[in-house]
Structure formats: structure tokens, C-alpha cells
Amino acid sequence: MKSTAAAPVVYIEEIASRVGQEVTVRGWIYNKRSSGKLQFLMVRDGTGTLQVVVFQKNVSAPLFQAVDRLTQESSVVVTGRVRADERAPGGYEMDASDVQILQVAEPYPITPKDHGVPFLMEHRHLWLRSSRQRAILRIRHEIIKACRDFYDSRGFTLVDTPIFTPAACEGTTTLFETRYFDDTAYLTQSGQLYNEATAAAFGKSYCFGPTFRAEKSKTRRHLMEFWMVEPEVSYAELDDIMALAEEFISEIVQKVVVGRRTELATIERDVGRLENVRPPFPRLSYDEAIRLLQEKGLPIQWGDDFGGDEETQLSQQFDRPVMVHRYPSKLKAFYMQPDPQRPEVALCVDVLAPEGYGEIIGGGERIHGHDLLLNRIQEHKLPAEAFRWYLDLRKYGSVPHSGFGMGIERVVAWICGLEHVRETIAFPRMLYRIYP
Amino acid sequence: MKSTAAAPVVYIEEIASRVGQEVTVRGWIYNKRSSGKLQFLMVRDGTGTLQVVVFQKNVSAPLFQAVDRLTQESSVVVTGRVRADERAPGGYEMDASDVQILQVAEPYPITPKDHGVPFLMEHRHLWLRSSRQRAILRIRHEIIKACRDFYDSRGFTLVDTPIFTPAACEGTTTLFETRYFDDTAYLTQSGQLYNEATAAAFGKSYCFGPTFRAEKSKTRRHLMEFWMVEPEVSYAELDDIMALAEEFISEIVQKVVVGRRTELATIERDVGRLENVRPPFPRLSYDEAIRLLQEKGLPIQWGDDFGGDEETQLSQQFDRPVMVHRYPSKLKAFYMQPDPQRPEVALCVDVLAPEGYGEIIGGGERIHGHDLLLNRIQEHKLPAEAFRWYLDLRKYGSVPHSGFGMGIERVVAWICGLEHVRETIAFPRMLYRIYP
């Protein structure tokens, strides 16, 4: 949309380079105050917020009155000269010479008063316009970009794995299913099995896409639909992917700290805690973790799985993520390679974020022997026919290989210091919510 | 995995920087020939292929015999000195001092003889190891990266839109549905409606993820599951997004031409045709397109939609993509803004790739008036309740806005010059195929 004036249209993020020039900004009223002959409009355009000053003497009387009636989120195209002014929020303001009003918004449902979460979720499509939600989603964008850049710059090939799958990767109880013409398809829970095929083709590969779990649980760490990044490396063993995970997480966090300092300030995140996140991360065997939890007084025995409480307790012991390795095989998925020194434990690792954020990465070495894998598939009563292609990978040049999956929403929650994953994605899908 | 020797482990892509050094490479036998006291192993590791020369005198007799028995795709860790040699494929070779055999592969099902497509699709997990398939998927990776870099570098915010949606974006006949606890969810066909909410929050946004269409059709241009990148820009009108589309496609194509020259050569793509793809693209109104098709003798009338034949015919008239704009509104989705000059046509655009590849982009200006949009929702018999949030966007600061969607698989097919989209993604989902 052109303005009616001849000034160039600019985004607020570039306003500092426009001082002294007449420009047009297109956006929405975020806030407004008036003092008689002056009106101060806080205009947001999605890239920033700019104070626009409308002097009564600079515009027609009807326009000045119309500006006075502007409501929150009304859409406006403002033209005027940009001025540096220390008193203005952000350091710049615009002296308006013209205000074009596109729509005076109806009374905006989200006001500065405290709304309950259900109300905000019901209005998620509007709630996204708030400074806080925008800051979180920009940090999410930075995290996703950092993930991709990490693998792209290290010679990994991105290979998108399918959403529709003929079989469950980790059991069938938490699968969403759909009619696929005359067949049934399940929505993927992980791209890992397919990554194992692509890692044999490309050496190093990764996938990054949405995954699904129909878990009938309402916790602050679960969504039904969440995004995962999953690297897989042929010839890599447990130590190799622990080193990769450590380097990966550190790079992401430091990129956010540098690139999204403004947004971290907006949401009042303690950046000092993030700056700690550098290698080496503490490594703890499952055995050591059990002893530590028992010392803390938790009623846990060797062989028990960790729940939210145990993860929180463990992760609070360290100022950076902790890598817990070699869980009992029976707690883990069927494809985990047993430790040759101690076959009752698996060559696997979970990475727990600090500050009580729990598991953000799970991975390990995959079984590469054909017969052992076939036994495990049978023991787990999985449909062998659906895994025929997966077993093939163990017939034609099988090699040790390892990888992991990292859940993006949990990482966003941790890096942003959020209480609940529901704010980490634009339109969260929860137990009782698929709207909007 | 470490080698038994002490040499550093390297990837073949970095072999040129290792001339004169002893290194270890880990991979698979791609090909093999012997000449008495010499064996030539073509070893691939996913990043490249290296000729490894095993001299009988350099290894033990049992090892030399074992090397002689290696089959295609057997997994090996080879150690030796790197040598520049013009006669070697790629210009370098390795004099092996050690060969560690991990697995002698069973007879590999994919041989140089001509296999039918059903057989190759059934073995897609192995077919991906071929030079041609790897080249295509690396080009796909480059295209995806170029798409993201394009928007990231232009101030767009990536906002992932949901896969589970409560309603259909463009009609209900081609939706996959799933039980969502006590409710029904539909798999997304496009993130556009959600993009319109996020463009109002961020000014410029994009989504990039898998989308789904249950079309009971078997054509060379359709998959059930395909990836789309969809930008949306507040305050943008039809001309603005036509310019964006033109710049976008040109940048992607030129990045592939520069960055993936080797892979384009592997698949024998005519790069000259891609080098033409630069602005400006020809712009053709629907009216003009109809006249052109009638001149070519096609039995088409004003008001008819274009099928594959018409798209192919049109796109063959130009040496670069052609932008066809202002189709009759009744051919397009309910949310298309009518042309104020001529309300029977919509402010929309389809971009058709050259060389007969058909539509790769569809988009336009969205209705921004509340009442008109509500009328259209009712006319199309869509469930108004599910669109309540979408109508909200027209109440709180509605602005003209536009965007488009680009299907990745069709772009990969075009850039690679493929006959069928089934080779553009690692694990294509087609009418009768969800395996592997």
C-alpha cells in the first residue's frame, strides 16, 4: 500500500537511518496519550514501535479530531519527519504531517488488566501482537535459525522425513492416526528411523519438522504437536554425539544471547544464566544420577525412570545442561544399542536443561546388528513387516551410528525462562485446544 | 568410530587438503575393480567418493583376499596416504595401508540394470544412496536453505503455523482428518490463514512446513504430503507480492546454479536454462492467457480453470517463469480480494515455471473487509464458528495484505528437470504408497 504522500515507506527497525527525512510508516496504534494540542501515538509495525507526535497546528481540524478517536490496534499510515529525541521511547520520534486512518478498531479485547490464560489462549491470534509474545516468537525464530545454521555449516544434509508413517517408532499408545485412502497412516513421533537411512546415504543428515504425540496429559512440558530437530551420524558412537549435543546447545544459546538481547530484555530473562552455557557440560551416568537423587531424599530405586520431579531435581544441581547417560535398556526404546561392557544399560543420553527445565535432548547409539534388532522388534511386539526396510539397513553395510532429537518448544521455554510451553509456539495444540 | 590406526578421521569432501597425509576414511564400497596385485575400491562416505588403491604388497595376504570379496555397499574403514592423481576420479586417491571391514553386505538389490519405478520406490531407503538421488536431495537442501535465507535476511519473522486445524482452508473434500481426543482435527492444507494473524503481529512473516492434500489423483505433479513456504506481508498489494515472488524465485535459482553446480552436472541438468531465470518475469492477465491459449488452438473459454495442459502450454511460451494474474473470482479461494475495477476477477497471481512445469506459486491479496469476508464464508458454506478468529483480524486494525505459497517439491522438480515429483523428497507419500 502506498501512502497518499510521496515519502518513502520504511519499517520502524530502520528508523535510526532516516533522521531528518520525511518518511511513511504503516502500522497499528499500540498506545496513545494526548495533551491538548498534541497527541502522542505509539505506532507498532511489527518490526518496532515509534512515537508519532501529531501537532494540532500541522493537520486539519477534522483529522486532529479523528486521531483523537483512534482506538488500540487501529490501523494507520503516518507520514512525517524523523527526529532523534532522547525523551522519546527508543530515541526517535516522528512529527506527523499526515495520518491516514485505515480502520478504527473495535474495542480491543486484550487490555492491560490481568486476563486469565484460557481467555488469552482463546484470543491467541490477537495476543501474538503483545510485546512479550512477539519477543518470545522472535527468540524462537533465532533458535530455529541457529539450529539449521549449525548443521548446514558442518556438512550435514537436511533430509525431510515423512509425517505419514506406516508404523510407530516408539510404541503405538500415543499415536494420532488417519485414514490414508484404503490404508491407515500414523503421524510421526520422530524422524529418527528414516534418519538412519539417510545418514547411510549422506554420512551426516538431519531432519527438522513437526512431530506428534497423543499423550492424554496436561503438564507444562507437553504439547500434542511440537517441532524436533534430529541429527544422525554414521560411524558416530555415544561419546561423539554427546560432544555434538554439547557444542550444539552451547552455540544456540550464545547466538540467542548475542542476537536477541533486546527481546531477552523485553521478557526480563536473566541473561547471566544463559551466558554460563558453554562446554564442557557435566556428564553423569544413570547410576550416579540415582545415587544423587537418593542422597537428596527422593524415593527412587535403580531401574526406575525419571519423572518431572527427578529431572527438575537433577537439573537444578548444575549451572549448565547435564548429560545423563547409560539408562537401563528396559526404560528406553527398542533400537538402543546395549553397552557391550554392561548389556543391561543402553548407550544412550538424555540432556537436561538447567533451572529445572527437564529433558531437552534424548538420543544415543542405535543397534547395528541385524539379529539383535530383529529380536528387539519381536520382544516389543512391533509389526516386523513395517520395519522390513529398517532391518535392511543392517544388511547392506551396517555401521555403528548415533543421533539425537531436540524438542524446540522445551528449548524455547528454557531459554526464555517460561513457566509453560504453551507460549513457545504461535498456535499451541494442547489436550483441550485446537482453536484458533 | 575410531580407526585402529592412529591417523585422523576425515570426510572425503576435505580430501584435497590432506594430500601427502595419512588419514582414515569411513564409508561404503560403491564400486570395485581389481587387476591382479591391485584392487581399486571406490569408497563413498556421503560427502564424496574416493578411489582407494590396495596393493597386495602393502597388506597381509588374508586381508587382500578379504578385500577381494567385498560386495557393493559393504562398510569399510580405510587408512592410507592421500595422493593427487589426475587419472583418479575426482583427482585424488588413497594408497591403503589398512582396510578394516565392518560388514560384507548381502547382495545389493539395486544393480546397474534397469529397475522399474515400483521396485526402486519399494527400496527407497537404499535408492537414496545412488549418486543421482543424493544430488537431487542436496539440491533440495540448497533450495530450502535459500528460501529461509531470503526471508530471514529481509526482516520476515518465521512463525510456524499449526498442522492440526479446526477447519479447512480451501474446502473439505481433500482433507485428512484425525481423532483429536473428543474432537476432530484436520491436517493443514496451508498456513495462510494463520500467517494473516502473524503478519499483523510482525508486519512480515512466513511459515515453512509440511502440508497435506488427500487428492485421489495420480499425476506427476502431486504428492499427498508436501512442503510449502508461505510469506505474508501486511500492507502489501498484488503488485508488491508479484515483485516479491519474482525476486524470490530468481534468488533461489541463482543460488542453486552457483552452489550446486556439481550436483546439477551429476543429474545432467541444462544450467543455461536456469541462468535465464532473472527479473523481470513476464506478467499476463488471465484474459490475455485465455486469448493466447485460444490462439494455440486449445478449446478453452473465459471462466474455465487451467488444467495441466493449459499450464504446460502457457509456461512453454517463455524462457522464465510467467506470472498470470486476475483469474475469475469463482475459480479461486473464498478469501481472495476482488479487483475494485472489475469485481468478477480476483487480485491473485499464479506463477508457472518454464519448461512445462506448471504452477509453483499461488497467492494474492486477501479480503480485508469484515462483511465481504463473512459473506464469502457463508456463500462457500464454511463453518463460520471455526473462522471466528479469522474474522476478528478484520475487526481490529484490518489492513490490505497479501502473500503466497510456494510448493517446494514442484520447484525441486523444475530446477532439477525431473519428470515426476516422486524423486524430489526422500520418502514420497503417494496415492498407494506410505512405505517405507
Contact A183 B28 (CB under 8 A): no
Please state, as a whole number, how many other Cβ atoms lie within 10 Å of the Cβ of residue A251.
18
What is the C-alpha to C-alpha distance for residues A174 and A180, in angstroms, rounded to an integer?
A: 18
Q: How many CA atoms lie within 13 A of B184 on its CB side?
A: 10
- Measured between its terminal Cα atoms, the distance across chain B in Å is 28
Whether the predicted pLDDT of B5 surpasses 70: no
Which amino acid, A139?
I
Please state, as a whole number, how many other Cβ atoms lie within 10 Å of the Cβ of residue B378.
11
| Average pLDDT value for chain B | 95
Residue pointed to by grid coordinates 519399494: B122
Q: Is B154 on the interface with A (CB under 8 A)?
A: no
Contact A105 B199 (CB under 8 A): no
Shortest alpha-carbon distance between residue B416 and chain A (Å): 16
List, for residues B297-319, the tens digit of each pLDDT value. Answer: 999 999 999 998 999 999 989 99
| Beta bridge mates, B53 | B40, B95
Rounded to 10 deg, the angle between the B131-152 and B408-416 helix axes is: 120
Q: How many CA atoms lie within 13 A of A37 on its CB side?
A: 4
Q: Which of residues 309-328 of B touch A (CB under 8 A)?
A: none
Residue B232's pLDDT band (boundaries 50, 70, 90)? very high
Please give the pLDDT value at position B4: 58
Of A162, A388, A425, the CB nearest to B225: A162
**HEC string for chain A:** CCCCCCCCECCHHHHHHHCCCEEEEEEEEEEEEEECCEEEEEEECCCCEEEEEEEHHHCCHHHHHHHHCCCCCCEEEEEEEEEECCCCHHHEEEEEEEEEEEECCCCCCCCCCCCCHHHHHHCHHHHCCCHHHHHHHHHHHHHHHHHHHHHHCCCCEECCCCCEECCCCCCCCCCCEEEECCEEEEECCCCHHHHHHHHHHHCEEEEEEEEECCCCCCCCCCCCEEEEEEEEEECCCHHHHHHHHHHHHHHHHHHHHHHCHHHHHHCCCCHHHHHCCCCCCCEEEHHHHHHHHHHCCCCCCCCCCCCHHHHHHHHCCCCCCEEEECCEHHHCCCCECEECCEEEEECEEEEEECCCCEEEEEEEEECCCHHHHHHHHHHCCCCHHHHHHHHHCCCCCCCCEEEEEEEHHHHHHHHHCCCCHHHCCCCCCECCECCC
Q: Which of A124, A136, A427 is best to mutate for the B interface (most B CBs within 10 A)?
A: A427
List, for residues A123-163, the tens digit of each pLDDT value. Answer: 999 999 999 999 999 999 999 999 999 999 999 999 999 99
Q: For residue A280, what are the contacts with CB-CB under 8 A and spacing of at least 6? A: A246
Q: Is B30 on the interface with A (CB under 8 A)?
A: no
Q: Which of A235, A421, A423 is best to mutate for the B interface (most B CBs within 10 A)?
A: A235
What is the C-alpha to C-alpha distance for residues B175 and B164, in angstroms, rounded to an integer?
A: 11
Of A105, A177, A397, the CB nearest to B28: A397
Contact A181 B133 (CB under 8 A): no
Chain A contact set for B46 (CB, 8 A): 157, 199-205, 234
Q: Is the Cα torsion angle A342, A344, A347, A348 positive or negative in sign?
A: negative
Please give the pLDDT value at position B70: 97
Q: Is B384 on the interface with A (CB under 8 A)?
A: no
Please give the pLDDT value at position B219: 85
Q: For residue A262, what are the contacts with CB-CB under 8 A and spacing of at least 6? A: A135
Please give the pLDDT value at position A36: 87
Rounded to 10 deg, the angle between the A192-202 and B131-152 helix axes is: 110
- Which structural domains are found in chain B, ordered by start? 12-103 (2.40.50.140), 121-423 (3.30.930.10)
List, for residues A405-430, the tens digit of each pLDDT value. Answer: 999 999 999 999 999 999 999 999 99
**pLDDT above 90: percentage of residues in chain A:** 87
Please give the pLDDT value at position B59: 95
Of A158, A212, A396, the CB nearest to B105: A396
Contact A180 B434 (CB under 8 A): yes
Closest CA to A359 of A401, A413, A402: A413
Which amino acid, A15?
I
The interface predicted TM-score (ipTM) is 0.96
Q: For residue A114, what are the contacts with CB-CB under 8 A and spacing of at least 6? A: none
Q: Which of residues 386-425 of A touch B (CB under 8 A)?
A: 386, 388-390, 392-393, 395-400, 425
Q: What is the mean pLDDT of residues B218-235?
A: 94
Whether the predicted pLDDT of B170 surpasses 60: no
Contact A203 B166 (CB under 8 A): no
Whether the predicted pLDDT of A2 surpasses 70: no
- Dig out the grid coordinates for B31 from the structure: 564400486
Q: Which of residues 45-64 of A touch B (CB under 8 A)?
A: 45-47
